[in-house]
Amino acid sequence: MAVAPAGAARRARGLLLVAGSAALLLALVTVSLLYGALDVPPGEVWRTLLGDAPSARVDNAIRSVRVPRTALGVAAGAALGLAGALMQALTRNPLADPGLLGVSAGAAFAIVVAVGVLGLGSAYAYIWFAFAGALGAGLLVYVMGGLGRSGSTPVKLALSGVAVTSLLGSLTSAVALTEPEALDRFRFWSAGSLANQSTDVLLRILPFLAVGALIAFALAPSLNSLALGDEVATSLGLRTGRIRTLGVIAVTLLVGAAVAVVGPIVFVGLVVPHVVRVLLQYAGIGPDQRWLLPLSALLAPVLLLAADVAGRLLARPAEIQAGILVAFVGGPLFIVMVRRRRLAEL
105 occurs within a structural domain: no
Distance (Å, whole) CA 205 – CA 203: 6
223 occurs within a structural domain: yes
Can you give 218-252 as a three-state secondary structure string? Answer: HHHHHHHHHCCCHHHHHHCCCCHHHHHHHHHHHHH
187 occurs within a structural domain: no
Q: What angle do CA 308, 207, 72 make, to 5 degrees?
A: 10
The pLDDT tens digits along the chain (346 residues) read: 444 556 788 888 889 999 999 999 999 999 999 987 778 888 888 888 888 878 888 888 888 888 999 999 999 999 999 999 998 888 777 777 766 677 778 888 887 888 777 777 666 666 778 778 887 887 888 788 777 766 666 677 778 888 888 888 888 888 877 777 667 767 776 766 777 777 888 888 899 899 999 999 999 988 888 887 777 878 877 787 888 889 888 988 888 888 878 877 878 888 899 899 889 988 888 888 999 999 999 999 999 999 988 888 887 777 888 888 888 877 777 777 666 655 544 5
**Residue 183 near residue 177 (C-beta atoms within 8 A):** yes
| pLDDT value, residue 140 | 85
In sequence order, the 6+-apart residues with CB closer than 8 A to the CB of 253 are 135, 208, 209, 211, 212, 215
132 occurs within a structural domain: no
Domain boundaries, position 42: 27-97+192-343
- Could you tell me the pTM of the whole model? 0.85
Question: What is the b/e burial string over 278-309, where b = at least 16 CB atoms within 10 angstroms of the residue's CB?
Answer: ebbeebebebbbebbbbbbbbbbbbbbbbbbb
278 occurs within a structural domain: yes
126 occurs within a structural domain: no
Distance (Å, whole) CA 219 – CA 243: 7
Distance (Å, whole) CA 242 – CA 12: 32
CATH of the domain at 40: 1.10.3470.10
Give the CA distances from residue 241 to residues 171, 222, 255, in Å, rounded to whole numbers and listed in that order.
Answer: 31, 12, 21
| pLDDT value, residue 45 | 87
288 occurs within a structural domain: yes
Of the candidates 321, 294, 314, 331, the one whose C-alpha atom is nearest the C-alpha of residue 15 is 294
Q: What angle do CA 112, 171, 259 make, to 5 degrees?
A: 50
In sequence order, the 6+-apart residues with CB closer than 8 A to the CB of 237 are none
Task: Write down how long the chain is.
Answer: 346
Q: What is the total count of domains within the chain?
A: 1
| pLDDT value, residue 154 | 66
Distance (Å, whole) CA 241 – CA 204: 31
159 occurs within a structural domain: no
The values of phi and psi at residue 31, to 5°, are -60, -40
